[in-house]
Amino acid sequence: MALILLAVLLYVLWHLFGWLAAVEPRVTPEPPTFIYGAAKTRFTLIEYGDLECPYCKEAYPRVKQLIDRHGVLNWQWHHLPLPMHGEAAQREARLVTCAGWLGGNPVFWQAVEAVHQHSRGNGAGLAVPIDQLGLQPAVSLQHLQACIQDNTTVRRVVAEQTATAAQKRIDATPTFELRDNRSGRTIRLSALLDDAGMLSAMDWLARK
């Protein structure tokens, strides 16, 4: 009997601490947090993106393939949920941030890909419930839902990234910047470049 009570107590405590970690984890995420590609590269492609944006959805596989082909370049996602896309874009930004917070960098990008795949776009939200995004068992559904709903730090991160974009007068998605991590210099790209264009941009930035 004592063993049964101990097992029940441990189960309750595990769920309680898991919920608390989802709502307010110990480690505070600060942008930039999630990087696709090598952690340390000479150049970083920064995408100001909205997960309800059809153009971001269209660009996603092209950006991913570009990064996979260039070892000197990685990819940083910067949230910019547009007002026209309402709460759906805000919620999806929190969803992928929470997924990454709870499951790590690979799960963040898995969540971004899943949301792009299942988003109906233009503020209509996801076509499937979040338990059908394929994020379990990497992250607990209960903890993910608690984080999306109640985590004030995640909300602050999304709000701060949105404000940073506004300060730079970026109001369209996707918008891309290329940063030289050695010099700290950044240029804004007129569009997502192909391989030759990206190599030229990196060469130009390296010479500045």
Domain layout of the chain by residue ranges: 32-207
State the Cα–Cα distance between residues 67 and 79, nearest whole angstrom: 19
pLDDT tens per residue, range 46-98: 999 999 999 999 999 999 999 999 999 999 999 999 999 999 999 999 999 99
For range 168-183, the mean pLDDT: 97
Closest C-alpha to 134, from 180, 172, 167, 103:
103
Q: Pick the residue with more confidence: 16 or 137?
A: 137
Predicted confidence band of residue 23 (pLDDT cuts 50, 70, 90): low
Average pLDDT over the chain reads: 88
State the Cα–Cα distance between residues 88 and 94, nearest whole angstrom: 10
Supply the pLDDT for residue 4: 56
Domain 32-207 falls under CATH 3.30.390.50 = no
Supply the pLDDT for residue 11: 45
Supply the pLDDT for residue 208: 79
Predicted confidence band of residue 7 (pLDDT cuts 50, 70, 90): very low
pTM (two decimals)? 0.84
Question: In degrees to the nearest 10, what's the CA dihedral of 36, 97, 117, 143?
Answer: 130
pLDDT tens per residue, range 94-119: 999 999 999 999 999 999 999 999 99
For range 148-165, the mean pLDDT: 95
